[in-house]
Structure 1
Amino acid sequence: MWTKPREISDGAYQGFGYEISYGSSGQVTPDDALRAWKRSQGHHEVIVNKGIWFNARWHAMGVAVTGGYALVWFGKEADPAK
């Protein structure tokens, strides 16, 4: 799981991180995904650094929304591509 940012960035991001995703049978918008993540305690805690994520420090982030899916990854190391 900690290598998911590397996988979904086609190797562009080499640091460790964590991803959250949202899927629907229809077209997904960023607002749809954010609403769902806010309602999900586990997803929300990753985004706002609560619970077991309290000490996590995210220094990079990637986002994709396409078709019926939305994905965000949070990385522990700075993204060298920025």
Structure 2
Amino acid sequence: MKNFDPLRDYLAQQTAPELVLRMDEIEEMLGFDLPRASHRAAWWDSTYAPDEHMPQREACLAAGYIATRLPDGSGVRFRRIKTDRSRWRG
């Protein structure tokens, strides 16, 4: 199984509410080529088959981002998951 920890760690360090990475940038970060399936939107979509173990989705979610493949398949848009911070107030 491929290790997506470098992607998780990179995303966890980001402060932007949204960012886009090209497929080749993601591959360079990971140190391996993404499978052909990565060019399909469902491969990244965390709402598609949520019970299926998909390490790339889990890495994004663990870093606080939801991933969506760009319409042209050239990259992935990462959007920070909105959390309800009101529960942290005393």
TM-score range, shorter chain: under 0.3
With the length of structure 1 as denominator, give the TM-score of the two structures: 0.27
Higher strand share: 1
Higher helix share: 2
Larger radius of gyration between Structure 1 and Structure 2:
2
